[in-house]
Amino acid sequence: MTQSSPGDSTTTARAQIGVTGLAVMGSNIARNLARHGHTVALHNRTTAKTDALLEKHGDDGDFVRTETMEEFVAALEKPRRVLIMVKAGDPTDAVIHELADLMEDGDVIIDGGNSLYTDTIRREKEMSERNLNFVGAGISGGEVGALEGPSIMPGGPKEAYDSLGPLLESISAHVDGEPCCTHIGPDGSGHFVKMVHNGIEYADMQLIGEAYDLLRRALGLSVEQIADVFRDWNSGDLESYLVEITAEVLSQTDAETGKPLVDVIVDAAGQKGTGRWTVKSALDLGVPVTGIGEAVFARALSSELEQRAAATGLKAGTIGEKPTDTESFVSDVRAALYASKVIAYAQGFDQIAAGSEEYGWDLHPGAMATIWRGGCIIRAQFLNRIRDAYDEDPDLKSLLLAPYFRDAVEEGVESWRRVVTTAAGLGIPVPAFASSLSYYDGLRSERLPAALTQGLRDFFGAHTYQRVDKEGTFHTLWSEDRSEVEA
Ligand code: NBP
């Protein structure tokens, strides 16, 4: 370990990178950087966190302790690289401006927080006008990932990535020798992709929750039996971090009551906002992300504890029988989970394609699948398949149409229908399973009732329509003789 005092750091610019914001994420990333042989300047608004890090983990590598922002900036080799890991929103803006005033042309400011991508677009523009490189980097993997290897999604000028990339790639997770970090694209693209990643994470968790609920309520399995089912699923094509930890959480017994921990946790799911951002952005872009949307709404519904308590006695009106063949129903639920997961990812990748088009980012979906294979919360075997699909056809219209996924979904579609039908018959909510199936049915339908919607819009608002049999735009004179005119 080498630690410099504040006095030294003002005279020796020797750190390859600085980290400001040393709460759980920042301190673990600083340690990860130091463990990989980089000299890291440390800064936090208040010095308590800096000192705590050095006291507990100073042996992790070469750190430069600083107190003021001036000392911090002076401790960095040029071009300077600073990673900001503070609370997203106003605190991030405050730190960026403080830093920008002290930095010089060509220096690099990296925002590794969970910033909204439109903020990143704005910040990148402001910083480029000051000749500074601004990189908005989505970082996934939570506190453990930050220390042991996260998935990193940096967006910003290519020139900044050229000098920063090797450093970030050195601390990211690696799968098959490849880093889970790549230059995503210009300005806000890194944070946009991270946002969609989080949205998919919401959908994944909701689908897992629905599968658990069905196994418990429809089939009557015990929590421990369901843990075993997830453990088993984790050795097949559902293999993923979230399925793995589902088995862990379900196996946990509460020390106080002896009950499964899941039975003593209040069933109100929190959210920090990235799922909501994903859905808002999808609405603006006109992309149906029904799986993610249902997951966000399901969390909102779960949190309405008073309203739920008041509605508890509402009639269920069940019309179905509980399944009797355990093995076959478990297999149906697995198929429904897999198919719905394909839909959630297909929709997420559609949103990435739409964002890329809207903002001119030229994003490569296969690259996202590659860097999500390790380090991040949605890491899964499945992502290798997605990468292969985009390798084979970079212009894939929908992930659902890639031969592997098409076969998998077509093979499981009857199971999927049985699961949704059983759930509806028994009154067990499966919003993500059901909406994913409806999306699938909508996508594959030759004709949709949207023709009637167009007719209605034309009737009350003269919004016009197009015909299937000839070119042009038409309007029916509904309040006159109902003849058709060209609009
Ligand atoms: P927090 O999001 O809890 O932020 C705490 C840090 O922000 C502290 O260092 C604090 O300094 C600093 N800070 C605040 Br609050 N206001 C400030 C201001 N006005 N000026 C300067 N510093 C200020 O920390 P975190 O959970 O480590 O997350 C850091 C970033 O990483 C966030 O953007 C978060 O969304 C993102 N992220 C978190 C996770 C995760 O799993 N937690 C995962 C991925 C990304 P102080 O010590 O002086 O109060």
Q: What is the pLDDT of residues 279-328, one digit of tens each?
A: 999 999 999 999 999 999 999 999 999 999 999 999 999 999 999 999 99
In degrees rounded to 5, what are phi and psi of residue 157?
-60, 140
- For residues 319 and 174, give the distance between their C-alpha atoms in angstroms, rounded to a whole number: 50
Checking if the pLDDT of 172 tops 50, the result is: yes
Q: Which atom of ligand 1 is nearest to the CA of 26?
A: 27
Digit-coded pLDDT (tens) for 421-443: 999 999 999 999 999 999 999 99
The H or E element that residue 84 is part of is strand 81-84
- For residues 427 and 391, give the distance between their C-alpha atoms in angstroms, rounded to a whole number: 42
Listed as own residue / partner, the contacts of 215-223 with beta carbons closer than 8 Å and 24 or more positions apart are 215/330, 215/333, 217/426, 217/428, 218/322, 218/323, 218/329, 218/422, 218/423, 218/426, 218/428, 219/322, 219/323, 219/326, 219/329, 219/330, 220/322, 221/326, 223/250, 223/260, 223/262, 223/263
CB 207 within 8 A of CB 334: no
Residue 12 — pLDDT band, cuts 50, 70, 90?
confident
Query: Which residue is closest in CA terms to ligand 1's atom 1?
Result: 87
pLDDT, position 381: 86
DSSP bridge partners of 190: none
Q: Which atom of ligand 1 is nearest to the CA of 48?
A: 47
Our answer to whether residue 484 is catalytic in this structure is no
Checking if the pLDDT of 467 tops 50, the result is: yes
DSSP secondary structure of 238-287: T-BHHHHHHHHHHHPBPTTT-SBHHHHS-S-----SHHHHHHHHHHHHT-
If one residue of 28, 45, 51, 86 were mutated to test the ligand 1 pocket, choosing by the most ligand atoms within 8 A of its CB, it would be 86
State the average pLDDT for the chain.
96
pLDDT, position 8: 46
Cα dihedral across residues 302, 306, 312, 317: positive or negative? negative
In degrees rounded to 5, what are phi and psi of residue 68?
-100, 165
Our answer to whether residue 125 is catalytic in this structure is no
Query: Which residue is closest in CA terms to ligand 1's atom 17?
Result: 91
Checking if the pLDDT of 3 tops 70, the result is: no
